[in-house]
């Protein structure tokens, strides 16, 4: 797969022995985004996708609470991928599949009007001005995401970086296919260690919710 999006940066991180072992079982979770989800999961069901799932807590929580959904996680952070596999195994969550690739390239390959829920929690804010081009949420991303959502489908986002929150609002507010904006914290988004740290640092955590209207 070609990683042409400037937002794509493969992060490195320390991997535990358990996470490394879990990566040996990655093939059991991998999916090709060009393949229809109902073929991958062997059923027709509503589909949720989390872009940049980090260590996987939010995706596992949602999938565990919604076993009737097909859930897809997209990330390239290998310790996080290993963590997601371990959590799925420990909690007996069987409705999660993983795409190890750049988010934009994945969305481009997904079928249009195929997603009921898209989640993007705490994307890298790239705070330095010269790095702003690497931010995931842009008007172009919003148009692409809208194409992939079914009518009535949702995009849920969260960030702890105020300038990025302003960027998200600016990028999505004029999208004619979406309605929504700033929202209350979503009950199905568990508070992770990352968010706890953000709150300790007195960062303001802002949630957004947008609905595809046509």
User: 3-state SS of the chain: helix, strand, coil percent to 5?
Assistant: 35, 20, 40
Q: CB of 160 within 8 A of CB of 205?
A: yes
- pLDDT for the residue 115: 97
Neighbours of 183 (CB within 10 A): 14
- pLDDT for the residue 125: 84
- pLDDT for the residue 15: 92
- pLDDT for the residue 11: 56
pLDDT digits 0-9 by tens, 10-39: 556 689 999 999 999 999 999 999 898 889
Which residues are annotated as catalytic?
A: 124
- Which residues of the chain carry a pLDDT beneath 70? 1-13
Provide the token pair at 199: 């709150």
Neighbours of 69 (CB within 10 A): 18
Q: CB of 136 within 8 A of CB of 7?
A: yes
User: How far apart, in Å, are the Cα atoms of 48 and each of 18, 64, 97, 178?
Assistant: 27, 12, 11, 17
- pLDDT for the residue 21: 97
What are the structural domain ranges in the chain?
Answer: 48-212
Provide the token pair at 27: 């093939």
- pLDDT for the residue 177: 98
What is the fold, at CATH topology level, of the domain defined by 48-212?
Answer: Rossmann fold (3.40.50)
Q: Rounded to two decimals, what is the model's pTM?
A: 0.91
């Amino acid at each position: 797969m070609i990683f042409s999006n400037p937002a794509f940066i493969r992060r490195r991180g320390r991997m535990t022995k358990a996470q490394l072992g879990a990566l040996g079982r990655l093939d059991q979770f991998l999916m090709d985004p060009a393949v229809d989800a109902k073929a991958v999961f062997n059923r027709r069901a509503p589909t949720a996708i989390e872009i940049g799932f980090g260590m996987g807590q939010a995706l596992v929580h949602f999938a565990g609470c919604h076993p009737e959904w097909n859930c897809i996680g997209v990330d390239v952070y290998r310790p996080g991928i290993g963590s997601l596999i371990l959590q799925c195994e420990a909690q007996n969550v069987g409705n999660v599949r993983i795409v190890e690739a750049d988010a934009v390239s994945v969305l481009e390959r997904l079928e249009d009007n195929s997603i009921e829920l898209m989640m993007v929690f705490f994307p890298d804010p790239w705070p330095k001005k010269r790095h702003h081009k690497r931010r995931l949420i842009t008007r172009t991303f919003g148009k692409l995401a809208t194409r992939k959502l079914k009518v009535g489908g949702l995009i849920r986002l969260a960030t702890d970086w105020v300038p990025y929150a302003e960027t998200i609002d600016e990028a999505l507010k004029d999208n004619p296919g979406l309605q929504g904006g700033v929202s209350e914290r979503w009950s199905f988004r568990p508070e992770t260690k990352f968010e706890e740290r953000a709150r300790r640092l007195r960062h303001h955590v802002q949630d957004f919710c947008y609905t595809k209207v046509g």
